[in-house]
Every structure is written in structure tokens, then in C-alpha cells.
């Protein structure tokens, strides 16, 4: 089954945890699972707001066990925590996944 279809079936944070960490053996594999899910769910966004400024979203990466966004403004780029980003017009499922990842980030 395609990952995005499974992700869209989630109704709770617990459901998101189960999808993101299925078949993982340690927290590093779990972080990779979260990264794959966030990339899948948020790949449509080209621009986001960071500290009130619109920036280009170049993708996502792992920094330690945390999923972060790679953002760019002009020639400058930075890795930014997802807690610091405002995504435009999130759907209900996107909001659930973002909140789930934020919850997971607090606990690693």
C-alpha cells in the first residue's frame, strides 16, 4: 500500500506513531520513519513562513533524531525546527501529522 494512503487513514497521534515507526528497531530507525512520512505528507509545500518571513522550503532532513526543514531565502539557507515553521492552509490530516511529529520530537 502506498505510504500516503496509509497516512491519510490516521485519526489519532497514536495512529501516526504506528505508521511512522512500523518495523523500526531503535530510535534512529524511528526517526528515519518520521522523515519519510513528513516528506510524503508535506512535499507539496514550496513556501513556508519562518519568523514572519516567507522562505523557500527545500525539503526535510534529520538532525540527530529530529526532523527539520531545510529553508532558503536568497543565498542563505538554514535547517529549521518544524515548531518554528508556519505552513499555509494545512488540512486536518496535515495538522494531525505535524502535531504528531512535534509530540515525538519532545520525547526523543
Q: For the chain, what is the mean pLDDT?
A: 94
Spans of all domains in the chain: 3-107
Q: How confident is the model at residue 108 (pLDDT cuts 50, 70, 90)?
A: confident
Residue percentage of the chain with pLDDT more than 90: 91
User: Average of pLDDT values for 47-71?
Assistant: 95
CA distance 105 to 82: 10
- pLDDT of residue 106 exceeding 90, the answer is no
Residue 53 dihedral angles phi and psi, to the nearest 5°: -110, 135
Query: How would you class 106 by CB atoms within 10 Å of its CB: exposed for 0-12, middle for 13-18, buried for 19 or more?
Result: exposed
Cell numbers linked to 74: 536568497
Amino acid at each position: 500500500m502506498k505510504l500516503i494512503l496509509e497516512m491519510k487513514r490516521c485519526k489519532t497521534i497514536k495512529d501516526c506513531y504506528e505508521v511512522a515507526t512500523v518495523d523500526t528497531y531503535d530510535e534512529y530507525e524511528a526517526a528515519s520513519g518520521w522523515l519519510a512520512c513528513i516528506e510524503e505528507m508535506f512535499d507539496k509545500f514550496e513556501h513556508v513562513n519562518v519568523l514572519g518571513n516567507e522562505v523557500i522550503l527545500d525539503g526535510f532532513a534529520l538532525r540527530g533524531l529530529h526532523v527539520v526543514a531545510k529553508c532558503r531565502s536568497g543565498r542563505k539557507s538554514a535547517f529549521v525546527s518544524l515548531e518554528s515553521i508556519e505552513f499555509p492552509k494545512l488540512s486536518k490530516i496535515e495538522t494531525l501529522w505535524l502535531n504528531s511529529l512535534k509530540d515525538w520530537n519532545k520525547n526523543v
